[in-house]
A and B are shown apart, each in its own frame.
Chain A
Amino acid sequence: MKRIYVNEKWCLGCHLCEYNCAFAASGSSDMSLALKGRKLYPKIHVEEGSDRITFAVSCRHCTDPMCMKSCIAGAISKEDGIVKIDRSKCVGCLTCVLACPYGALAPGENGIMQKCQLCTDNICGEPACVSGCPNGAIVFEERD
Chain B
Amino acid sequence: MKSYYDHIIVGNGVAAAGTIEGIRSTDGEGSILAVSAEKHPVYGRPLISYLLEGRTDREHINYRRDSFYADNGCEVLYGERAEALDAAGKKVVLSTGEQVGYGKICIATGSNPFVPPFEGLEKVKNKLQFMTLDDALALSELLSEESRVLIMGAGLIGLKCAEGICRRVREIVVADLAPRILSSILDDECAGFIQRHVEKENISFLLGDTAERFEDGKAFMKSGRVVEFDILVLAVGVRANTALVKNAGGAVSRGIVVDTHMRTSLEDVFAAGDCVENLDISSGTGKVMAILPNAYAGGFAAGVNMAGGTKLFDNAMPMNSIGFFGLHAMTAGTYEGQCEAFRGDDGSINRLYIKDNLLKGFIFIGKPERTGVYTYLIREKVPLDSIDFELFRRTATQTMFSHDERGRRFGGVV
Interface of A toward B, CB cutoff 8 Å: 3, 5-6, 8, 47-50, 53, 55, 57, 60, 62-63, 66, 69-70, 72-74, 88-89, 91-103, 106, 143-144
Are B372's CB and A98's CB within 8 A?
A: yes
B166 touches A (CB below 8 Å): no
Q: How far is the CA of A47 from the CA of B410 in the complex (A)?
A: 13
Are A72's CB and B292's CB within 8 A?
A: yes
Q: Which residues of chain A are within 8 angstroms of B322 by Cβ–Cβ distance?
A: 93
Q: Which residues of chain A are within 8 angstroms of B332 by Cβ–Cβ distance?
A: 98
B297 touches A (CB below 8 Å): yes
Q: How far is the CA of A60 from the CA of B46 in the complex (A)?
A: 27
Q: How far is the CA of A49 from the CA of B297 in the complex (A)?
A: 34
Q: Which residues of chain A are within 8 angstroms of B63 by Cβ–Cβ distance?
A: 73-74
Are B399's CB and A50's CB within 8 A?
A: yes
Q: Which residues of chain B are within 8 angstroms of A72 by Cβ–Cβ distance?
A: 44-47, 292
Q: How far is the CA of A88 from the CA of B371 in the complex (A)?
A: 24
Q: How far is the CA of A143 from the CA of B399 in the complex (A)?
A: 23
**Residue in A74, A97, A143 whose beta carbon sits within 8 Å of that of B371 in the complex:** A97
Q: With contacts A6-B410, A72-B44 known, is A103 near B369, CB below 8 A?
A: yes
Nearest A residue (CB) for B49:
A91
Are A98's CB and B375's CB within 8 A?
A: yes
In the complex, which range does the number of interface residues on chain B fall in? 35 or more
Q: How far is the CA of A8 from the CA of B373 in the complex (A)?
A: 19
Closest Cβ–Cβ distance, residue A85 to chain B (whole Å): 13
Q: Which residues of chain B are within 8 angstroms of A55 by Cβ–Cβ distance?
A: 398, 406, 410
**Residue in A88, A93, A95 whose beta carbon sits within 8 Å of that of B60 in the complex:** A88
Nearest B residue (CB) for A70:
B293
B338 touches A (CB below 8 Å): no
Q: How far is the CA of A69 from the CA of B18 in the complex (A)?
A: 9
Are A103's CB and B370's CB within 8 A?
A: yes
Closest Cβ–Cβ distance, residue A88 to chain B (whole Å): 6
Q: How far is the CA of A94 from the CA of B366 in the complex (A)?
A: 12
Are A5's CB and B411's CB within 8 A?
A: yes
Are A91's CB and B55's CB within 8 A?
A: yes
Q: How far is the CA of A60 from the CA of B372 in the complex (A)?
A: 14
13 A-B pairs in the complex with CB atoms less than 8 angstroms apart: A3-B413, A60-B414, A70-B292, A73-B61, A74-B62, A93-B50, A97-B330, A98-B320, A98-B330, A98-B371, A98-B375, A99-B319, A101-B376
B397 touches A (CB below 8 Å): yes
Q: Which of A73, A74, A89 has the most CB of B within 10 A?
A: A74
Q: With contacts A72-B292, A98-B321 known, is A49 near B413, CB below 8 A?
A: no
Nearest A residue (CB) for B319:
A98
B201 touches A (CB below 8 Å): no
**Residue in A50, A98, A106 whose beta carbon sits within 8 Å of that of B391 in the complex:** A50
Are A97's CB and B406's CB within 8 A?
A: no
B349-408 with Cβ < 8 A to chain A: 368-373, 375-376, 379-380, 388, 391, 396-400, 403, 406
Q: Which residues of chain A are within 8 angstroms of B253 by Cβ–Cβ distance?
A: none
B225 touches A (CB below 8 Å): no
Closest Cβ–Cβ distance, residue A39 to chain B (whole Å): 15
> Known contacts A94-B328, A101-B379, A103-B398; can you find 11 more A-B pairs with CB under 8 A?
A6-B410, A53-B403, A57-B398, A60-B410, A69-B296, A91-B55, A95-B321, A98-B330, A98-B371, A99-B372, A103-B397
Are A69's CB and B300's CB within 8 A?
A: yes
**Residue in B64, B396, B400, B409 whose beta carbon sits within 8 Å of that of A74 in the complex:** B64
Q: How far is the CA of A99 from the CA of B292 in the complex (A)?
A: 12
Q: How far is the CA of A96 from the CA of B400 in the complex (A)?
A: 21
Q: With contacts A5-B411, A73-B63, A98-B372 known, is A93 near B321, CB below 8 A?
A: yes
Q: With contacts A63-B413, A73-B47, A99-B293 known, is A50 near B371, CB below 8 A?
A: no
Closest Cβ–Cβ distance, residue B389 to chain A (whole Å): 12
Are B388's CB and A97's CB within 8 A?
A: no
B412 touches A (CB below 8 Å): yes
Q: Which of B60, B320, B391 has the most CB of A within 10 A?
A: B60
Nearest A residue (CB) for B364:
A98
B288-310 with Cβ < 8 A to chain A: 292-293, 296-297, 300
Are B60's CB and A73's CB within 8 A?
A: yes
Are A73's CB and B293's CB within 8 A?
A: no
Encode contact with A along B313-347: 1 for CB under 8 Å, 0 otherwise: 00000011111000010101000000000000000
Are A47's CB and B292's CB within 8 A?
A: no
Are A103's CB and B373's CB within 8 A?
A: yes
**Residue in B45, B61, B323, B375 whose beta carbon sits within 8 Å of that of A99 in the complex:** B375
Q: With contacts A49-B397, A55-B410, A74-B44 known, is A66 near B292, CB below 8 A?
A: no
Q: Which residues of chain B are within 8 angstroms of A103 by Cβ–Cβ distance?
A: 369-370, 372-373, 396-398
**Residue in B17, B380, B391, B413 whose beta carbon sits within 8 Å of that of A143 in the complex:** B413
B140 touches A (CB below 8 Å): no
